[in-house]
A and B are shown apart, each in its own frame.
Chain A
């Protein structure tokens, strides 16, 4: 059914809302990629089977949705309308949920979330601290939408912003609204979105062609917010892009999404064809006379293709390598036409701004950074998942209050923000309000919103080495400082981690960094030294210990420590002896055991097996003497 006027859209919405019984029970099962990996498909089948057997399948809905964000606790099931929150639900739990909660309105207590801080069970989703402390303007909708059912998006007000933009606003007004909202690009650069649109609209184009592009080439290790939005709420991106296209005067849009996101590719393609069938994409959208269509282009997985000029080269079918941006892509981008590229999350913000107004939007966040930001909170953290918070929330609040702190009562050491070319922020800066400018000030960056938490067992030299090796592999190979410079920095870090570091290495790393930052072609290169510089800045003593004392206090760099067995703690249980793959451990039953350092390959099996903490790490020199 093609909608040919805003009134028809509203009629459709009314009829959808009228058909919804607010008291009808609905079992909402998260089917984002995280929960899929935890086996939610079997869970959905189990629910369907059980409802059928109990003959209540007509009375109870099952809704599979996109990512809810609390991935640590997946598969997640929410019973609506009450919002009862069950976590880590297995197919075996289904029978009990149906018989207790669905039929007799009781709670299955063992599936509830227990707040580790208070030890109390929490029944309702809205009371779980992980959710309660967030401002989920964008991700919040994920829990209510089956991405395969467009009615769900209509029901939460979908496409009303588009209708408003097309019929009540001129393109210039849309741009002004976005400028006034002070929305900044969520892909990492933080460029003011409205001004970008304005430049694209006013850029010269001989035949009038302009492109809008959605950058869904999310490649930062550990970051997956764009994937979750695209998978869970694809229409919000389509709506945002259509509004953007209307504002800049474009009729063709592209979504460049990595092929490693098969569910996102599938959902967004399906969403596009549904939007077309409703006349929300294609010619004469809602009868406004405005034409716009979107094509999905799948990326081959090169990290550098997230850089706008490399992405456009790849879209054109060329090798994805950046070019100088002295002529901006808003003037000459894809096929040398004015092209407006924004990140997934940026596009998702647009319908919100149009619906609720720039004034409302600009009240959220800090002076320089408005709105919310989704972070993917990963690493050594209790509540792994996607976290959406207003700009300006402190790292401490995000990591401890929402993230639930560090597992195993370990000490916090650092948090890495901004993806591989971000920086590591130490404990004493935990009260830093997180926004674009503050993160840059301390030598890190917002990036696309990765947040990797590290505990005391993390070696900061090794962390720098890890990110540099990622960047070395992902450097495109065009400019010499990035290609060769990163490679050489990695060589130096490798030697430091192997205990072959020399005096002067730190200064040499700084010298190379400075030259790379001053001369590399694209942002991948100019920011590549960040992980090294920020770890040197905040954890210089670790570098020095590696170089001078040949020790790795975290016990990560294998060449810099030995395992040994503490005689006093060893009970001689023999567990380590049996498991040692190289038979390096010897000892009589009930007598303290011993590790032969010559045979030990430092796999760490004994270390993680020992129940008495008798296997320990020590500096090579210390253990040998």
Chain B
């Protein structure tokens, strides 16, 4: 354990934690946008910038990727820090004036109207989608293309990706809702990445299950493509409860006669 001072509060922390983690464990809130506990720190939004004072010097660092050291003093609420966070949020609000998460964060810093010309973008380039695709899914189907203010997230050459499994993790993690999965008859469309993957339907009830590639990758992981992986959540539950009922010698008929389940099945 090491000793830290965060905002004049003495705390004990484990080694090898980031400032953000140590602060969180002690109930100190540091704002973030591009951070996700399941992913490697990225340090792009800069909202978590804090002041670190060590023997050598004082400087501003990002809390999400700076590892705490013994006797470190950290300030998270200096006027300069508030100023830079406000500036970042003002810049973001001007870029994405209709995005809820930005609007509410900006509001919490008393910014209603940015002093800049308004744009109408949806992506804040937090990079969460790129990182989840690479680090968790292992696909790296999307990345940053272009540079500077023109940077955006896309597949190579904006072509439908042939390594995207259509798992939807990017859409799930996207804080602005820019990434959308759309189900059509037999396809899943991932926008704005211009990617279309084949849709797999539930082997039992025929409702949209997930993309073909994703189902088979899950099947491979489970080592069982024949049964559970091919079913939608409802049918999976049914299959499991039937098996349970059977093993406990509980009459399957009772389950089938359950009016709630019957009603669900019809839809």
A480 touching B60, Cβ below 8 Å:
no
Binary CB contact string for chain B from 27 to 65 against chain A (1 if under 8 A, 0 otherwise) = 000000000000001011110010000000000111001
- For the complex, is A512 an interface residue (Cβ under 8 Å from B)? yes
Which residues in chain A, 513-533, are within 8 Å of chain B measured between CB atoms? 514-516, 518-521
Residue of A nearest to B116 (CB): A488
Interface size class, chain A: 20 to 34
Whether B159 is near chain A, meaning CB under 8 Å from some CB there, is no
B151 touches A477 (CB 8 A): yes
Interface segment, one of B87-95, B166-174, B192-200, B240-248: B87-95
- Name the contact of A479 in the complex, choosing from B43, B66, B150 (C-beta under 8 A): B43
Nearest B residue to A526, CB-CB = B60
Mark A190-208 against chain B: 1 for CB-CB distance below 8 A, else 0: 0000000000000000000
Q: Are B60 and A519 in contact (CB under 8 A)?
A: yes
Given A323-B43, A514-B83, A519-B46, check contact A480 B88 (CB 8 Å): yes
Measured CA separation A302–B148 after assembly (Å)? 11
Which B residues lie at the A interface, using CB under 8 A? 41, 43-46, 49, 60-62, 65-67, 80-81, 83-84, 87-88, 91-92, 94-95, 115-117, 124-125, 127, 143-144, 146-151
> Which residues of A are found within 8 Å of B43, using beta-carbon distances?
323-324, 479, 521
Q: How far is A472 from B149 in the complex, measured between Cα atoms in Å?
A: 7
Closest to A478 in B: B44
Provide a sorted-by-A list of 28 A–B residue pairs whose CB atoms are within 8 angstroms: A326-B67, A473-B147, A475-B148, A476-B151, A477-B125, A477-B144, A477-B146, A479-B43, A479-B44, A481-B46, A481-B87, A481-B88, A481-B91, A483-B125, A483-B148, A485-B87, A488-B91, A491-B116, A491-B117, A514-B83, A515-B83, A515-B87, A518-B60, A518-B81, A518-B84, A519-B46, A519-B49, A519-B60
Q: Is the CB of A478 within 8 A of B125?
A: yes
A474 at the interface (CB under 8 A from B): yes
Partner of A480, one of B45, B67, B143: B45
* Contact across chains for A479 and B144 when beta carbons are under 8 A apart: no
Instruction: Return the CB mask of A95-133 against B: 1 if under 8 Å, else 0.
Output: 000000000000000000000000000000000000000
Smallest Cβ-Cβ distance to B152: which chain A residue: A477
Q: Which residues of B contact A321 (CB under 8 A)?
A: 144
**A525 closest partner in B (C-beta):** B46
Q: Is A484 an interface residue (CB 8 A)?
A: yes
Residue on B with the closest CB to A495? B117
With A and B bound together, what is the CA distance between A326 and B148 in angstroms? Answer: 23
CA distance A487 to B65 in the complex (A): 26
CB distance from B76 to the nearest CB of A (A): 14
Would you call A480 and B149 a contact (CB within 8 A)? no
Task: Decide yes or no whether A508 CB sits under 8 A from chain B.
Answer: yes
Any chain B CB within 8 A of the CB of A55? Answer: no
Selected contact of A474 from candidates B67, B83, B147, CB within 8 Å: B147
Rounded to whole Å, the gap between the CB of B65 and the closest CB of chain A is 5
CB pair A521 B148 closer than 8 Å: no
Interface check A511, CB cutoff 8 A: yes
Contacts of B45 in A (CB 8 A): 479-480
Closest A residue by C-beta to B80? A518
| Known contacts A485-B91, A487-B149, A518-B84: A480-B61 contact under CB 8 Å | no
A609 within 8 A of B: no
Chain A: minimal CB distance from B101 (Å):
14
CB neighbours of A323 from chain B (8 A)? 43
Q: Is A42 in contact with chain B by the CB < 8 A criterion?
A: no
CB contacts (< 8 Å) of A477 on chain B: these are 125, 144, 146-151
Cα of A473 to Cα of B125 in the assembled complex, Å: 17
Q: Which A residues are in CB contact (< 8 Å) with B94?
A: 484, 488
Nearest A residue (CB) for B151:
A477
- Segment 298-333 of A: residues with Cβ below 8 Å from B: 302, 304, 319, 321, 323-324, 326
Q: Which of B44, B62, B88 has the most CB of A within 10 A?
A: B44
A518 to B143, CA, bound (A): 27
Chain B residues within 8 Å of A476, by CB: 147-148, 151
Is B148's CB under 8 angstroms from A508's CB?
A: no
Nearest-Cβ distance from residue B48 to partner chain A, whole angstroms: 10
In the complex, which residue of chain B has the Cβ closest to the Cβ of A475? B148
When chains A and B are docked, how far (Å) is the Cα of A508 from the Cα of B116? 11
Tell me the smallest distance from the CB of B93 to a CB of chain A, in Å: 10
**Would you give the shortest CB distance from B146 to chain A, in whole angstroms?**
7
How far apart are B151's CB and chain A's nearest CB, in angstroms? 3
Which chain B residues lie closer than 8 Å to A475 at the CB level? 147-149
A484 touches which of B60, B83, B95, B127 (Cβ 8 Å): B95
Q: Mark A368-389, 1 if CB is under 8 A from B, else 0.
A: 0000000000000000000000
Q: Complex Cα distance A449/B150, Å?
A: 29
- Most chain B CB within a 10 A radius of its CB, from A326, A508, A512: A326
Q: Which residue of A lies closest to B92 (CB)?
A: A480
Q: In the complex the two chains form, is A326's CB within 8 Å of B66's CB?
A: yes
Chain A minimum-CB-distance residue to B59: A518
- A304 to B60 alpha-carbon distance, docked (Å): 22
- On chain A, the residues within 8 Å of B62 by CB distance are 324, 521
Find chain B residues with CB under 8 A from A472 CB: 148-149
Whether B84 and A515, one on each chain, are in contact in the complex, defined by CB atoms closer than 8 angstroms, is yes
B49 contact set on A, CB distance < 8 A = 518-519
Q: B-facing mask of A483-520, CB < 8 A → 1, else 0?
A: 11111100100000000000000001001101110111
Residues of chain B contacted by A478 (CB below 8 angstroms): 44, 125, 127, 144, 151
User: Which chain B residue lies CB-closest to A321?
Assistant: B144
Nearest residue (CB) in A for B143 is A319
Question: Is the pair B91, A484 in contact by a Cβ cutoff of 8 Å?
Answer: yes
CB A311 to nearest CB in B, in angstroms, measures: 15
Q: Which residues of B contact A521 (CB under 8 A)?
A: 43-44, 46, 62
Nearest A residue to B81, CB-CB: A518
Nearest CB of B to A18, in Å = 55
Nearest B residue to A304, CB-CB = B147
Provide the bound-state CA to CA distance between A491 and B149, in Å.
12
12 further contact pairs, Cβ within 8 A, besides A515-B87, A521-B62: A323-B43, A324-B41, A324-B43, A326-B65, A477-B146, A480-B91, A484-B149, A485-B91, A488-B94, A491-B117, A516-B87, A518-B80
Question: With the chains together, A63 CA to B88 CA distance in Å?
Answer: 57
The distance from the CB of A536 to the nearest CB of chain B, in whole angstroms, is 18
A324 to B67, CA, bound (A): 12
CA distance A325 to B92 in the complex (A): 25
Give chain B nearest CB distance to A480 CB in angstroms.
Answer: 5
Residues of A within 8 A of B87 (CB): 481, 485, 511-512, 515-516, 519
Q: Report whether B61 and A326 are in contact in the complex, using a CB–CB cutoff of 8 Å.
A: yes
Q: CB-CB < 8 A to A479: which residues of B? A: 43-46
Q: What residue of chain B has the Cβ atom nearest to residue A490's Cβ? A: B149
Closest 5 CB pairs of A and B: A477-B151, A515-B87, A484-B91, A475-B148, A515-B84
CA distance A508 to B67 in the complex (A): 34
**B38 CB to nearest chain A CB (Å):** 19
**Shortest distance between the CB of B249 and any CB in chain A (Å):** 57
A103 to B61, CA, bound (A): 69
Q: How far is the CA of A65 from the CA of B19 in the complex (A)?
A: 55
Contact residues in A for B116 (Cβ distance below 8 Å): 488, 491
Task: Please name all residues of chain A whose beta carbon is closer than 8 Å to the beta carbon of B60 when the two chains form the complex.
Answer: 518-519
Residues of chain B within 8 A of A324, CB atoms compared = 41, 43, 61-62, 65-66
> In the complex, A508→B151 CA distance in Å?
25
Give the residues in chain A near B80, CB-CB below 8 Å: 514, 518
B44 smallest CB distance to A (angstroms): 5
For residue A511, which residues in chain B have a CB less than 8 angstroms away from its CB?
Answer: 83, 87
Name A319's contact: one of B61, B65, B144 (CB within 8 Å).
Answer: B144
- For B92, list chain A residues within 8 Å (CB): 480, 484
Residues of A within 8 A of B125 (CB): 477-478, 480, 483
**What residue in chain B is nearest A482 (Cβ atoms)?**
B148
- Cβ-neighbour of A519 out of B41, B84, B144 (below 8 A): B84
| A479→B87 CA distance, assembly (Å) | 13
